[in-house]
């Protein structure tokens, strides 16, 4: 039996076991493997730190000099409607900012600056014309009139490349807008650029062989998350007022968390996935995938979600006001002791406790600490729901869906620096071969357990419950460090399995100056609750922390 198969069998057996849960103790095999994993993390951390030291100090991004960049997208739209700012001025401000940050952060993969300026001029000309619509009409019909926005490279914009970070797709140009882009355009917004992703959007560090690695604006030695990492980076660095990301295992929430932003994964099925590449290969995968907003200010979440949800917005009751004091709050500080994930850092636990204290002090809400046993199976449940059928596995995806790559040949090429694929993409394809097979007894069991966990959450949350949970167990790791802690995405992935809405909420910076926060989860179609809670926590904790500002 190969070492990969032995590792997966051990991991799978541990995940399936229930004896330790009943006794509240970890089995000896689990203790040993957990200790080995902690040791690997500890040694790896020191190695990555030493390598970063040899490379020299972190680079600093330019300070913000143009105060237009500090407005929310909602405020920019208001100022443009009222002719306090022109769309051309706003678009130019963001173009200038992108040109400042791009050489340092590498967040943009393709721009449409000239076309964006032309479209901005059309907006300004309309406002100057005799037939100009009133600000009230614009606010209702085109709420983001004249405001630029960006999207991750996986989401199609007509006339622009859609590579998904795959080298073989370097010349693929989209013929049509993704549905979410079409809706944003209809709301008056102007596409400005596309941003970097991990290879095929299947890893939580943004790096690929086509466009390279994106760096964290708070410390360039650290990652931006993935797969919507370029989008998280450009938002945090004030290079865009509003962004669109997609999320199948945390790809909106992890980059939002690592970059100190708000990012919302909508309830399953509420926003069209049309125009996202790679598209889902099964009904289970499509249920995991959601497209949603990423932004610096919580007030931009609701109006953007209204646009993206389109006809489904009525199902979400987004116009209903939320009384925070009447909500029921529940929380977990960790996943209950899942194997192969890092322990939740003390500063993140403390941030969670401060939120609980804030709710009690400000709204007299007593949050309930709960323990949901099945959260220990987060990795296994997510992997089961992601399993493919008809041999359309990751080697098929890496070939751009025209066959299957030869894994061992690609590994050999990689050692010789000749492969067009990242190491993690090849490792992912390898690991997938030993995962639970679609349609097997184990797969059926995990799918059933996923449904049971969903019902458990729905019973707890109902229509007025909110669940507070870590977005990730650590702050943004150093570049390539996720290789030794690959399963840490399970904190977000399990929420995709449930199909519930979740919003990443920033809670300031840790002692290293890196963003930390939590995710806010609610019952199905209760998206307005998570957004309302994030708006409240933004008032209480400050939200996005901007880089240096020069007045």
Cis amide bond preceding 110, omega within 30: no
d(CA 527, CA 543): 19
Domain count of the chain? 1
Across 470-492, average pLDDT: 96
Tens digit of each residue's pLDDT (9 = 90 or more) over 84-132: 999 999 999 999 999 999 999 999 999 999 999 999 999 999 999 999 9
Across 502-523, average pLDDT: 97
Q: If pLDDT is split at 50, 70 and 90, which confidence band does 337 have?
A: confident
**Residue 44 placed within a domain:** no
Q: Which entry of 207, 251, 290, 522 is annotated as an active-site residue?
A: 251
pLDDT at 48: 79
**Residue 422 placed within a domain:** no
Do residues 423 and 400 touch, judged by C-beta distance below 8 A? Answer: no
Model confidence at 8: pLDDT above 80: no
**Residue 491 placed within a domain:** yes
**Residue 292 placed within a domain:** yes
Across 403-430, average pLDDT: 96
| Domain interval for residue 137 | 61-387+435-541
- At residue 219, φ and ψ (nearest 5 deg) are -165, 110
Model confidence at 14: pLDDT above 90: no
Strand order in the sheet with 502-509: 108-111, 190-195, 148-152, 243-247, 290-295, 262-265, 502-509, 515-522, 465-470, 328-331, 368-369
- The tokens for 411 are 């590994």
**Residue 352 placed within a domain:** yes
Burial environment of residue 448 by CB neighbours within 10 A (0 to 12, 13 to 18, 19 or more): exposed
pLDDT at 45: 78
pLDDT at 1: 40
Model confidence at 543: pLDDT above 60: yes
Q: What is the largest CA-CA distance in the chain?
A: 78
Q: If pLDDT is split at 50, 70 and 90, which confidence band does 7 have?
A: very low
pLDDT at 551: 52
Neighbours of 376 (CB within 10 A): 24
Q: Of all residues in the chain, what percent carry a pLDDT higher than 90? A: 83
Do residues 316 and 270 touch, judged by C-beta distance below 8 A? Answer: yes
**Residue 21 placed within a domain:** no
Answer yes or no: 251 catalytic: yes
Alpha-carbon 439 to chain mean position: 29
Burial environment of residue 290 by CB neighbours within 10 A (0 to 12, 13 to 18, 19 or more): buried
- The tokens for 233 are 């980076």
Do residues 397 and 390 touch, judged by C-beta distance below 8 A? Answer: no
pLDDT at 32: 77
Q: What is the DSSP letter of 266?
A: P
**Residue 138 placed within a domain:** yes
**Residue 449 placed within a domain:** yes
Model confidence at 2: pLDDT above 50: no
d(CA 106, CA 296): 19
Answer yes or no: 60 catalytic: no
Q: If pLDDT is split at 50, 70 and 90, which confidence band does 51 have?
A: confident
- The tokens for 219 are 């410390």
Tens digit of each residue's pLDDT (9 = 90 or more) over 197-254: 999 999 999 999 999 999 999 999 999 999 999 999 999 999 999 999 999 999 999 9
Out of 332-341, 362-371, 386-395, 489-498, pick the least confident.
Answer: 386-395
Q: Which entry of 227, 342, 490, 522 is annotated as an active-site residue?
A: 227
Q: Of 169, 180, 307, 184, nearest to 246 (Cα)?
A: 180
pLDDT at 530: 98
Model confidence at 521: pLDDT above 50: yes
Do residues 150 and 107 touch, judged by C-beta distance below 8 A? Answer: no
Q: Which entry of 79, 152, 265, 377 is annotated as an active-site residue?
A: 152
* Residue of higher predicted confidence among 549 and 357: 357
> Residue 176 is part of a domain; what is its CATH number?
3.90.1300.10
Q: If pLDDT is split at 50, 70 and 90, which confidence band does 550 have?
A: low
Answer yes or no: 279 catalytic: no
Do residues 439 and 389 touch, judged by C-beta distance below 8 A? Answer: yes
Across 425-447, average pLDDT: 92
Model confidence at 433: pLDDT above 70: yes
pLDDT at 6: 39
| Mean pLDDT value across the chain | 92
Contacts of 516 by beta carbon, 8 Å cutoff, 6+ apart: 257, 345, 347, 348, 351, 475, 506, 507, 508, 509, 510
- In sequence order, which ranges of 82-221 are alpha helices (DSSP H)? 87-105, 113-128, 135-141, 179-186
If DSSP states are collapsed to H, E and C, what string results for 113-134? Answer: HHHHHHHHHHHHHHHHCCCCCC
């Amino acid at each position: 039996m190969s070492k990969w198969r032995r590792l997966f069998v051990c991991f799978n057996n541990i995940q399936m076991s229930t004896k330790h849960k009943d006794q509240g103790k970890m089995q000896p095999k689990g203790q040993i493997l957990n200790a080995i994993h902690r040791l690997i993390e500890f040694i790896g951390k020191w190695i990555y730190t030493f390598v970063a030291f040899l490379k020299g100090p972190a680079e600093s991004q330019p300070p913000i000099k143009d105060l237009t960049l500090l407005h929310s997208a909602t405020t920019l739209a208001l100022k443009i409607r009222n002719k306090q700012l022109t769309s051309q001025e706003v678009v130019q401000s963001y173009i200038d900012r992108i040109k400042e940050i791009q050489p340092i952060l590498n967040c943009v993969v393709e721009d449409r600056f000239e076309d964006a300026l032309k479209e901005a001029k059309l907006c300004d000309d309309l406002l100057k014309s005799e037939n100009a619509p009133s600000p009230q009409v614009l606010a209702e019909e085109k709420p983001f009139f004249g405001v630029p926005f960006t999207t991750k490279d996986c989401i199609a914009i007509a006339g622009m490349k859609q590579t998904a970070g795959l080298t073989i797709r370097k010349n693929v140009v989209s013929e049509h807008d993704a549905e979410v882009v079409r809706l944003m355009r209809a709301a008056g917004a102007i596409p400005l650029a596309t941003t970097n992703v991990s290879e095929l959007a299947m890893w939580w560090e943004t790096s690929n062989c086509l466009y390279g690695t994106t760096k964290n604006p708070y410390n360039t030695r650290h990652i931006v998350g993935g797969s919507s990492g370029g989008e998280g980076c450009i938002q945090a660095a004030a290079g865009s007022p509003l962004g669109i990301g997609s999320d199948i295992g945390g790809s909106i929430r992890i980059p939002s968390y690592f970059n100190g932003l708000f990012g919302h994964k909508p309830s399953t099925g509420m926003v069209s996935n049309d125009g996202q590449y790679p598209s889902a290969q099964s009904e289970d995968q499509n249920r995991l995938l959601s497209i949603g907003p990423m932004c610096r200010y919580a007030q931009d979440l609701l109006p953007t979600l209204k646009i993206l949800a389109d006809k489904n917005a009525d199902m979400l009751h987004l116009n209903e006001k939320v009384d925070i004091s009447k909500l029921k709050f529940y929380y977990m500080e960790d996943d209950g002791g899942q194997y192969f994930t890092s322990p939740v850092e003390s500063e993140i636990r403390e941030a969670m406790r401060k939120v609980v204290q804030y709710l009690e002090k400000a709204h007299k809400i007593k949050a309930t600490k709960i323990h949901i046993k099945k959260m220990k199976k987060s990795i296994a449940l997510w992997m089961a729901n992601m399993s493919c059928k008809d041999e359309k596995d990751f080697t098929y995806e890496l070939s751009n869906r025209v066959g299957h790559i030869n894994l061992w040949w690609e590994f050999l090429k990689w050692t010789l620096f000749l492969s067009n694929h990242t190491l993690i993409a090849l490792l992912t394809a390898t690991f997938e071969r030993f995962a639970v097979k679609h349609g097997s007894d184990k797969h059926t069991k995990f799918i059933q357990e996923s449904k049971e966990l969903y019902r458990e959450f729905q019973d707890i949350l109902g229509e007025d419950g909110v669940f507070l949970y870590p977005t990730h167990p650590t702050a943004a790791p150093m570049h390539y460090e996720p290789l030794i802690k690959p399963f840490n995405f399970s904190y977000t992935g399990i929420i995709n399995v449930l199909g519930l809405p979740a919003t990443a909420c920033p809670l300031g910076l840790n002692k290293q100056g890196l963003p930390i926060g939590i995710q806010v989860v609610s019952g199905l179609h209760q998206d307005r609750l998570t957004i309302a809670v994030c708006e409240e926590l933004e008032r209480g904790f400050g939200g996005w922390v901007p880089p240096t500002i020069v007045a």
